[in-house]
Structure 1
Amino acid sequence: MFDSHAFFKKLFSAHLKETSRYLKYIFNEHLAVAMLFFISALAYYYQQWLADLPANFPTAWIIGIVLGLLVSYSPVRTLLQEPDLVFLIAAEHKMGAYFRNALIYSFVIQLYLILLTAAAFGPLYFASYPERSGQVYLITIAVVLIFEVWNLLANWWMLKIREPGIRQVDTLARLLLNCAVFYFFLHGDMILASIATILFICVFLYDLRVSRKQAGIVWDLLVEKDRNRMQFFYRIANMFIDVPHLKNRVKKRHWLVSLVDRVPFQQKSTFDYLYRITFIRSGDYLGMYLRLIVIGGLIIYFVPNDWMKIIFALLFLYMSSFQMMTLYQHHRTNIWLDLYPVSKQYRQQAVLKWLFQLTFIQTFIYAGIFLFFADYQGFGITLVGGLLFNYLFINGYVKQKLT
């Protein structure tokens, strides 16, 4: 007899084993040290910023929109895979316990994000509303959790509808209503918050009514959603370790490739060309590199202390070099590279040279931020210190890891 509860436990155990296998590489000692420093510094300047918080700061808008986005997302993690459909379609009427467990698991995962967000916004909330007690904030969190459950159920019901347009309109409507409820609640306007809540309940009941009219479960949609989430996780893990079964996305990006493919037509430049276009056309490296530049640049711009700006610049240079060194293993499973009549020494040199060129651009951008403030001393220290750090780290640690 088919036991859907036992089947969920089996898939859940396999899922935990698979994710924990890569999480230990993602949260390694290098990232832990960088994140510890990063969070500590942000917490320090966060407290300093709150001490001079403007009286008209839009706290309700910011917290309301972020919480609205968070609860509207609420994905349902079913853990289903395509081979499971062979026998699950016939056992659809016995899957009640399985989907109940999937909803509970999805809520627990989302609960961590909500509590972390609530903890991050707590100081801002109390700085903006000093007259309110901690009990009021706890009630706010409780309201968010109630809406999280409602949105999770609504998302589950919408997964029974195949048309993506209907699901998108429903998500947008709930997103706007979620943001409105939290904004009015935080602003203290309970009448408008109640009206927005009633409108949300109307959408919620409409989703229930529409889902009950559907013939059955859209199995291929459930599998597709979970597959996309796992591929996203694998892409993150692939930044730290080679993931053999990752389906790498390749994008053409002709105009970007044309900017970096100017290499000498020589045998020793074979890997220079390969790793440059891999960096541009792969779905991971370019985006990660640009995100680190933007995040680091914003932090350097807003941090008031000059020495902390320089430390953050070096920190993000370190993170970029550490993440980009996985480029060397990108073609690990491609046997054609072993047929190239090119020495492996050129392969290592190509990666090291490309990493130094990327971090040089990043160093110059970070140093240029100091010029915006007419801080020529900071510009010189960041430029010289960044180039020296890049040279020592790439030709020391990175080179050793590539051997």
Structure 2
Amino acid sequence: MFDSNAFFRNRLSEHMKEMSRYLRYIFNGHTAVAMLFFISAIAVYYQQWIANLPDGFPTALVVGIVFGLVASYSPVRTLLKEPDLVFLIAAESKMNAYFRNALLYSFVIQLYLILLVAAAFGPLYAATYPNRPGQSYLLIVVVLLIFKVWNLFANWWMLKVRAPGVRQTDLLTRSLLSIVVFYFLIQGNMLFTAITTGLYIVVFLYDYNVSRKHTGIIWDLLVEKDRNRMQTFYRIANMATDVPHLKNKVKRRQWLASLVSNVSFQNKQSFNYLYRITFIRSGDYLGMYIRLIVIGGLFIYFVPQVWMKILFGFLFLYMSIFQMMTLYHHHRTIMWLDLYPVDHKWRRQAVLNWLLQLGIVQTIIFAVVFLPLQEYTGAAITLVGGLLFNYLFINGYVKSKLD
């Protein structure tokens, strides 16, 4: 006899083993060092900023937006896999306990986000409203937990609707209402808080009514949602270690590919062409590279001390090169590369050259960010030091790892 409770426990055990295996690499590697540096630096500057909080800062608006988005982001982790589309459909009527456990698990694993956000904005709330008792912020956190549960149920009910437009409209409506509720709650306007909460409950009951009209389970949608979330986790883990489960998406990006694929038709240039095209079209290499440039540039622009700006610039250079190293192993499962009539040393050299070129471009961009701030010494140090760091790190550490 099929026991959905036992089935969920087995599926959860497999999932936790899979997650822990990659989390061990993430938090033991270079990524953990970078994260520790970021958190420490941000905590110091955040404390200094709180101590000199400007008058009239819109705390209610900022915290309301963040709390509303955190409450609305409530995905349901069902832990379903593609074979379940065949083997579990027949047992759909016996899966109530499984999905109840999935909802509970989804809520528990999202508690860390609530705790982090509540801890981060607690000092800002206390600095803005020093005359309010400490229990007032605790009440807001309790309301956040309640809205989290409501949004989790609403998201689960809307997963019975196949039309993506309906689901997106419903999510947008609930997100806006959640933001408004927390905005008025933080302001202390209980009348408008009650009114907007009532509007939210109307939408909540509408979602429940919609779910009752769609009694069946859209199995393929649940599997797709869970697969996409696991692929996101694999992309993060891929920054620290090789992930064979990662499915790479290929995008054409013809105009970008034409800019970097201008190489001569020689045997030794074959891998130069291949890895440049791979960087542009495959996986998240291009997106990751651009995101690191943007985030690093923002840190350089807004951090007040010039030496911290320079350190952040070097840190983001290091992160970019370290994460782009996986480009070398991108085609590891394709046998055709071993059949190319090209010396293997050109393959390694192509990756090293491309990483060096990406590092040079990133270094120049970071140096340019200093110019509007009229910090020419920082720009010069970042440019010269960044170019030297790229050359030594790539021809030293990266080259030894590829070997």
Q: Classify the TM-score, shorter chain.
A: over 0.9
TM-score normalised by length of structure 2? 0.98
Aligned residue in 2 for 1:22: 22
The corresponding residue for 1:86 is: 86
Structure 2 counterpart of 1:267 = 267
Point out 4+ residue stretches in structure 1 off by more than 6 angstroms: none
Residue 255 of structure 1, CA deviation:
0.6
SS of the counterpart of 2:75? coil
Using the TM superposition, give the Cα deviation of residue 268 of structure 1 relative to its aligned residue in structure 2, in angstroms. Answer: 1.0
Q: Given that residues 300 and 312 in structure 2 are in contact (C-alpha distance below 8 angstroms), is that contact kept between their aligned partners in structure 1?
A: yes
Find the aligned partners of 1:270 and 1:121 in 2 and give their Cα distance: 52
Per-residue CA deviation, residues 42-77 of structure 1 (Å, 9 max, x unaligned), is: 111111112221111111111111111121120000
CA distance in 2, matches of 1:20, 1:281: 30
The answer for the alignment partner of 1:230 in structure 2 is 230
The aligned amino acid for 1:141 is: V
Q: Which amino acid aligns with 1:123?
A: P
- What amino acid maps onto 1:165 in structure 2? G
Counterpart residue identity of residue 267, structure 2: Q
Corresponding residue SS for 1:279:
helix
Alignment pair present for 1:33 and 2:56: no
| Residues 141-290 of structure 1 mapped to structure 2, 5 A cutoff | 141-290=141-290
Report the more deviating stretch, 90-99 or 297-306. Answer: 90-99
Aligned pairs for 1:36-75 within 5 A: 36-75=36-75
Contact 2:359–2:390, Cα closer than 8 Å, also in 1: yes
CA distance in 2, matches of 1:385, 1:134: 48
Distance 1:252 1:291 in 2: 20
Distance, in Å, in 1 between the alignment partners of 2:338 and 2:331 is 10
Q: Partner letter of residue 60 of structure 2?
A: A
Choose 224-233 or 280-289, whichever is displaced more: 224-233
- Structure 1 residue 326 corresponds to structure 2 residue 317: no
Cα distance, 1:30 vs. partner?
A: 1.3
Asked whether the 8 Å contact 2:30–2:240 carries over to 1, the reply is: no
**TM-superposed deviation, 1:177:** 0.6
Render the CA deviation track for 1:189-218: whole Å, top value 9, x for unaligned: 110010000111111111111111113111
Shift of 1:153: 0.5
Unpaired runs of at least 5, structure 1: none
Q: Tell me, yes or no, if the aligned pair for 1:160 and 1:216 is still in contact at 8 Å.
A: yes
Contact 1:85 1:219 in 2 (8 A): yes
Residue 65 of structure 1 aligns to which amino acid in structure 2? I
Structure 2 counterpart of 1:369 = 369
The Cα RMSD (Å) is 1.2
8 A contact 2:161–2:214 mirrored in 1: yes
Q: Secondary structure of the residue that 2:80 maps to in structure 1?
A: coil
Letter in 1 for 2:394: I
CA contact (8 A) 1:355 1:394 kept: yes
User: Which residue matches 2:12?
Assistant: 12
Partners of 1:354 and 1:137 in 2: how far apart? 51
Contact persistence 2:26–2:32 (CA under 8 A): no
**In the TM superposition, what are the counterparts of 1:295-306 in structure 2 within 5 Å?**
295-306=295-306
- The equivalent of 2:386 in structure 1 is 386
The answer as to whether partners of 1:63 and 1:121 remain within 8 angstroms in 2 is yes
Say which SS state the counterpart of residue 22 (structure 1) adopts: helix
Deviation at residue 230 of structure 1 after TM alignment: 1.3
Q: How many correspondences in the alignment?
A: 403
CA contact (8 A) 1:240 1:326 kept: no
Structure 1: distance between partners of 2:287 and 2:311: 23
CA drift at 1:371: 1.1
SS in 1 for 2:214: coil
Aligned equivalents of 1:241, 1:289: Cα separation in 2: 17
Runs of at least 5 residues in structure 2 that lack an aligned partner in the other structure: none
2: distance between equivalents of 1:214 and 1:234?
Answer: 33
Paired residue type of 1:94: K
Q: CA deviation at 1:102?
A: 0.3
Deviates more, 1:60-69 or 1:195-204: 60-69
Give the equivalent residue in structure 2 for 1:340: 340
